[in-house]
Structure 1
Amino acid sequence: MAYKHGVYTSEVPTSVIPPVNTTAGLPVIFGTAPVHLASDRAEANKPVLCYTYDEAVKQFGYSKDWKKYTLCEAVYGMFALYNRAPVVLVNVLDPAKHKQDKTNQAITFSTDRTAVVTDPVLLDTLKVKTVEAGQPLVKGTDYEAAYDDDEQLIITALSGGAIKDAETAVIDYSAVDASAVTEEDIIGGVDVSTGKKRGLETLNQVFPITGLVPGIVLAPGWTDKPSVEAIMKAKAGNINEHFKVILLSDIPTSEVKKYTDASSWKNQHNYTGVDEVACWPMVKMGDFIYHMSTHMLGVIAATDSTDEDDVPYISPSNKSMQMEGLCLEDGTEVVMAPEEANYLNGQGIITALNFIGGWKSWGNNTACYPADTDAKDRFISSRRMFNWHAATFIQTYWSKVDSPTNKRLIETVIDSENIRLNGLVAAQKLLGARIEFNESENPTTSLLDGKIKFHTYFTPPLPAKEIDNVIEMDVDYFKSLFA
């Protein structure tokens, strides 16, 4: 030890740790994107965090053909209809795999020296030639190629170039083939040779890449397929071995055309997850038809944003929806009366209702209801609160892992958590809460193995799903006639 002479100071860590703020409803959306329209194409099967519509379009492209390019529905819904951010997008359409190679395709130039190509051409593969066996011409010198607002590729012959007077030319290219994407691509897996993850396997990469914990996972146009829903449900319940998220799934309106058939289909195909919100039917807005899950994502995001601390204690039911009607996949109108919507709610299915105050989301129950009536699991808001609390606790105290197990560690966690929980109670986001370190739950054998266990008790406010008022005639008020 160095020789000291004088006055010195030192510091100890603050005994109360501020909580880590989490994005309670961070959506992770899987699907297909029109990557041929992207100006700065994102890598396939990689989670990408986007805060704006322009940012998403730049990296993934945008098309009005939502059946082919399913990510576009969610991008438009979140950014345009509900104006909420951020989102994490995962495109499974791999242009190196899901493509068609075409050679020696003839094009004809019109009087304005342009030719139209309707295929979804990957611009970096385009080769323009004067004849079939000719050398590729030079972009910027002989021609230009760009997409117009109708998603058509326009090839323009430049004056002074090799095809300035030509009536025809020949092109080679690779075209995106969205029809080649299957359920297996959404489900994904791990490449044995490279270790690269694909599809839903990339859900575990969201937190390491973005530093944000996923809160909601969905794949409009894919979760109505039981094979996809089953894997998504399993992944949602165990992310990075620490986190849980809510899965938004759709019951297919191509099969379920009446509300009375929705429950039997849901049970038959096991859409009954604790961390699952099952939706029926579809939604109309203008010229577009949306999956209900897309709109529920917007509703949840809008509801969460009403709380400045992003605490998901408010139910997303009976909240305004940006829609004009309900329908089936083929556009057939669905008229939903309150008793019909309530029937669906009683079967653990979320829908929409136009009864009082315009179109509203309708339903509080997760898909596990009515088989599971545990209040922490059956209500969407309470299930999300448990997921949110777990994610917050893990991130806040991760830095304490491997610290010495002593009084200071125990008291730091207890004091910090009770301060946070008391604040939530004072703000009426919890009805009551406390954390304890109990001797009975920490036997010597566990302490010897380096394990300590805390016990949190808390009660989130549950949605007032039923409000009754008993109305009775009081004949004593007749006396007022003689007063």
Structure 2
Amino acid sequence: MARHGSRVTEKPTSLSAPVVATATLPVVFGTAPINLAETLENVNKPVLAYSFSEFAKALGYSDNWKDYTLCEMADAAFRQCNVGPIVFVNVLDPEKHKENKQESIEVTNKKAVIETEGILLQSLEISNADNKLESDKDYIASLNEDGRVVIAFLIEKVTTVNVKYDHLKPDAIKNNHIIGGYDIDTGKSTGLELLNSVFPKLSMVPGLVLAPKFSKDPTVASVMKAKASSINTYFKAQALDDVDTLDANTYTKVNEWKNKNSYTGSNEVVCWPLAGIGDKVYHMSTHIACRIMKTAYDNGDYPHESPSNKPLPMTKLLVETKDGHEEIDLSPDQAELLNNQGITTAINFIGGWRAWGNYTGAFPASTDVKDMFIPVRITHNWLGNTIILTTWDKVDGPIGRRLIDNVLDTMNMWMNGLQSEGVLIGGRVEFREEDNPITDLLSGKIRFRYAVAEPTPAQDIENILEFDASYYKSLFISE
């Protein structure tokens, strides 16, 4: 058919937009009061929460952080620092980690309270003398704000009842439950093995890996580092671990403990001691993770700035004792010593309580700039993850100038943008002939070379103060 007039046809854009990886998404492993949640199904599953209410609905909440460690992170992130989202993995299974109990309780004004924590409401059985009572007919049972079961009786003349129930047993969770594994028979993963399930399920790349309370165990910490270094084979994240403050209860003992237990990974942030607000006690890894998230958020979700010397919501430093916790003091020179040993801490010096420390666990043994500084290592991880996400759709495409130029143009423009934002000092992508021999091209292998320079933290600012006697000459100048 003959055409007459002016026409426009659209062509797909040759320049692709980079798919940005979540720079500092934390994945936190631990225990939750699942009996207080809307469902008991969130066991050994990655659960994404953007707010405190989402966390409480999915996993329950309790101020008993000793038994329910995920609640510590939920409080710090959503209540104290106002950051998110966070992925939580609860390993406390109400089908396995429970205990049966029977007791007699008194009824006052047709009401009674069972003081045991962690009761699975659906397991509750109540009898009066030899008669078993029926729910919603003889009584109504519910959970109060403290997670205790409150029973309101609908029948008369009840003074004492016998109750039987199952309750959660959080102390049954050991380090091996956090480590987890893969069950060949069921095809299901548990614990840290679920780090590989986060991206396939949520389409979000893990940036930080935590296990408050449990990460002070060297076996757990070593598995955290190993899993974080190879997520889904391709991605990398940073592990945040805590030093055992019961053993290393003074700053002089921390470095020996760190080296003895191999907390020396480049993809590891080693934290000491504990942080407190009132009666609440946080692991330092929890606070540092939230500070890393908050700093990235303040920079447009770019992770290049160090969390060090940024405010922390805390009022004291603590170490664990056999009887509880003890408050300690840490001077700037002591904190500097810890920093130079690759340990991150907090100080109260100028501007209130602040995170203090730029080095990963690899320092001082490693002085490779990409491995020694926390923000550089996290940014390096993020760059690598983003490169994978962006170039993945080129896999299996025909090798030719169109594919090569698309990758070069897309990634160079992205890096130019990062440079203008201050995320990089500089960066470029090249397709070199020496990196791509004909034999590799014939085998379907193609290589791009990325060169980047992230900004290092200005952790040592020297101001030279000199007495200048020449200013005395001004005394002889008449007006």
Say if 1:211 and 1:374 are closer, same or farther in 2 by CA, change over 3 A: same
Question: Corresponding residue for 2:266?
Answer: 274
Report the 3-state secondary structure (helix = DSSP H, G, I; strand = E; otherwise coil) of the residue aligned with 1:21.
coil
Report the 3-state secondary structure (helix = DSSP H, G, I; strand = E; otherwise coil) of the residue aligned with 1:441.
coil
Please state how far the C-alpha of 1:391 moved relative to its aligned partner: 1.1
> Aligned pair 1:216/2:208, yes or no?
yes
Decide whether the 8 Å contact of 1:117 with 1:154 is kept in 2. no
Of residues 215-224 and 443-452 in structure 1, the stretch that sits farther from structure 2 once superposed is 443-452
Decide whether the 8 Å contact of 1:276 with 1:366 is kept in 2. yes
How far, CA to CA, are the matches of 1:113 and 1:232 in structure 2? 47
Question: Corresponding residue for 2:100?
Answer: 101
> Aligned pair 1:300/2:299, yes or no?
no
Decide whether the 8 Å contact of 1:41 with 1:58 is kept in 2. no
How far, CA to CA, are the matches of 1:307 and 1:372 in structure 2? 28
1:187-241 CA-to-partner distances (Å, cap 9, x unmatched) read 0011231011000000100011111100001011100011110111100100000
Say if 1:113 and 1:427 are closer, same or farther in 2 by CA, change over 3 A: closer
> Aligned pair 1:399/2:388, yes or no?
no
Question: Corresponding residue for 1:77?
Answer: 76
Question: Corresponding residue for 2:147?
Answer: 151
The residue identity in structure 1 corresponding to 2:454 is P
Structure 2 unaligned regions, length at least 5: none
Question: Corresponding residue for 1:63?
Answer: 62
Question: Corresponding residue for 2:303?
Answer: 312
Decide whether the 8 Å contact of 2:117 with 2:147 is kept in 1. no
Please state how far the C-alpha of 1:138 moved relative to its aligned partner: 3.0
- Runs (4+) of structure 1 exceeding 6 A deviation are 7-10
Matching of residues 74-473 of structure 1 within 5 Å: 74-102=73-101, 105-131=103-129, 134-135=131-132, 137-158=133-154, 161=155, 164-308=156-300, 310-329=301-320, 330-473=324-467
Please state how far the C-alpha of 1:420 moved relative to its aligned partner: 0.8
How far, CA to CA, are the matches of 1:374 and 1:417 in structure 2? 25
The percent of aligned pairs where both chains have the same amino acid is 44
Report the 3-state secondary structure (helix = DSSP H, G, I; strand = E; otherwise coil) of the residue aligned with 1:349.
coil
Question: Corresponding residue for 1:38?
Answer: 37
Please state how far the C-alpha of 1:108 moved relative to its aligned partner: 2.6
How far, CA to CA, are the matches of 2:111 and 2:407 in structure 1? 72
Of residues 346-355 and 164-173 in structure 1, the stretch that sits farther from structure 2 once superposed is 164-173
Decide whether the 8 Å contact of 2:81 with 2:313 is kept in 1. yes
TM-score, length-scaled by structure 1: 0.94
How far, CA to CA, are the matches of 2:465 and 2:444 in structure 1? 61
TM-score, length-scaled by structure 2: 0.95
Decide whether the 8 Å contact of 2:40 with 2:94 is kept in 1. no
Decide whether the 8 Å contact of 1:251 with 1:262 is kept in 2. yes
Decide whether the 8 Å contact of 2:110 with 2:158 is kept in 1. no
Please state how far the C-alpha of 1:166 moved relative to its aligned partner: 2.6
1:258-311 CA-to-partner distances (Å, cap 9, x unmatched) read 101100110000000111000011111111111100110111111111112x11
Report the 3-state secondary structure (helix = DSSP H, G, I; strand = E; otherwise coil) of the residue aligned with 1:439.
coil
Decide whether the 8 Å contact of 1:414 with 1:436 is kept in 2. yes
Report the 3-state secondary structure (helix = DSSP H, G, I; strand = E; otherwise coil) of the residue aligned with 1:284.
strand
Please state how far the C-alpha of 1:128 moved relative to its aligned partner: 2.3
Please state how far the C-alpha of 1:42 moved relative to its aligned partner: 4.2
Please state how far the C-alpha of 1:22 moved relative to its aligned partner: 2.6
Say if 1:287 and 1:115 are closer, same or farther in 2 by CA, change over 3 A: closer
1:325-361 CA-to-partner distances (Å, cap 9, x unmatched) read 1110232121111110000000000000111111110
Decide whether the 8 Å contact of 1:115 with 1:156 is kept in 2. no
Decide whether the 8 Å contact of 1:215 with 1:245 is kept in 2. yes
Report the 3-state secondary structure (helix = DSSP H, G, I; strand = E; otherwise coil) of the residue aligned with 1:150.
coil
The residue identity in structure 2 corresponding to 1:127 is E
Please state how far the C-alpha of 1:171 moved relative to its aligned partner: 2.8
Decide whether the 8 Å contact of 1:275 with 1:366 is kept in 2. yes
How far, CA to CA, are the matches of 1:296 and 1:380 in structure 2? 11
The residue identity in structure 1 corresponding to 2:17 is P
How far, CA to CA, are the matches of 1:300 and 1:87 in structure 2? 13
Decide whether the 8 Å contact of 2:206 with 2:237 is kept in 1. yes
How far, CA to CA, are the matches of 1:138 and 1:374 in structure 2? 68
How far, CA to CA, are the matches of 1:38 and 1:344 in structure 2? 40
The residue identity in structure 2 corresponding to 1:271 is Y
Of residues 324-333 and 312-321 in structure 1, the stretch that sits farther from structure 2 once superposed is 324-333
Decide whether the 8 Å contact of 1:50 with 1:88 is kept in 2. yes
* RMSD between aligned residues: 1.6
Decide whether the 8 Å contact of 1:42 with 1:60 is kept in 2. no
Report the 3-state secondary structure (helix = DSSP H, G, I; strand = E; otherwise coil) of the residue aligned with 1:146.
strand
Q: For this pair of structures, how many residues does the alignment match?
A: 472
1:67-120 CA-to-partner distances (Å, cap 9, x unmatched) read 111111111011111011100000000111100123x53333123432434242
How far, CA to CA, are the matches of 1:198 and 1:284 in structure 2? 31
Of residues 473-482 and 320-329 in structure 1, the stretch that sits farther from structure 2 once superposed is 473-482
Report the 3-state secondary structure (helix = DSSP H, G, I; strand = E; otherwise coil) of the residue aligned with 1:352.
strand
How far, CA to CA, are the matches of 2:92 and 2:461 in structure 1? 48
